[in-house]
Amino acid sequence: MAPSVQPVLVEVHLDEGELARSLQEDARRGLSTTPKALPPKWFYDERGSRLFERITHLPEYYPTRREREILEARAGELASGVRPDTLIELGSGFSSKTRLLLDAFAGDLRRFVPFDVSEPTLRQASEAIAREHPGLRVHAVVGDFQHHVGLLPRGGRRLIAFLGSTVGNLTPDERAKLLADLAGGMEPDDALLLGTDLVKDVGRLEAAYNDRAGVTAEFNLNVLRVLNRELDADFGLERFSHRALWVPEREWIEMRLRAEVSQEVRLPAVGLTVAFEEGEELRTEMSAKFRREDVEAELAAAGLEPRAWWTDRASDFALSLAGRA
Ligand code: SAH
Ligand code: AVI
Mutate to test the pocket of ligand 1, among 55, 129, 166, 179 (most ligand atoms within 8 A of CB): 166
Distance of CA 302 to the CA centre of its chain: 19
Low-confidence ranges of the chain (pLDDT < 70): none
Q: Is 117 in the pocket of ligand 1 (CB under 6 A)?
A: yes
For 193-209, how does the pLDDT look when each residue is reduced to its tens digit (9 = 90+)? 999 999 999 999 999 99
Nearest CA to ligand 1 atom 22: 144
Q: Is 165 in the pocket of ligand 1 (CB under 6 A)?
A: no
Distance 18 CA to ligand 2 centre (A): 24
pLDDT given at position 2: 82
Domains located in the chain, CATH noted: 9-13+59-201+290-324 (3.40.50.150)
Sign of CA dihedral 148, 153, 159, 164: negative
Strand, helix or coil at 92? coil
Residue 300 phi, psi dihedral angles, 5° rounding: -60, -40
For 9-53, how does the pLDDT look when each residue is reduced to its tens digit (9 = 90+)? 999 999 889 999 999 999 999 999 999 999 999 999 999 999 999
Distance 51 CA to ligand 1 centre (A): 13
What is d(CA 322, CA 308) in angstroms, rounded to the nearest whole number? 7
Interacting residues of 206 by C-beta distance below 8 A, sequence separation 6+: 244, 245, 246, 253
Which ligand sits closest to the CA of 205?
2
What is d(CA 158, CA 113) in angstroms, rounded to the nearest whole number? 10
pLDDT given at position 1: 75
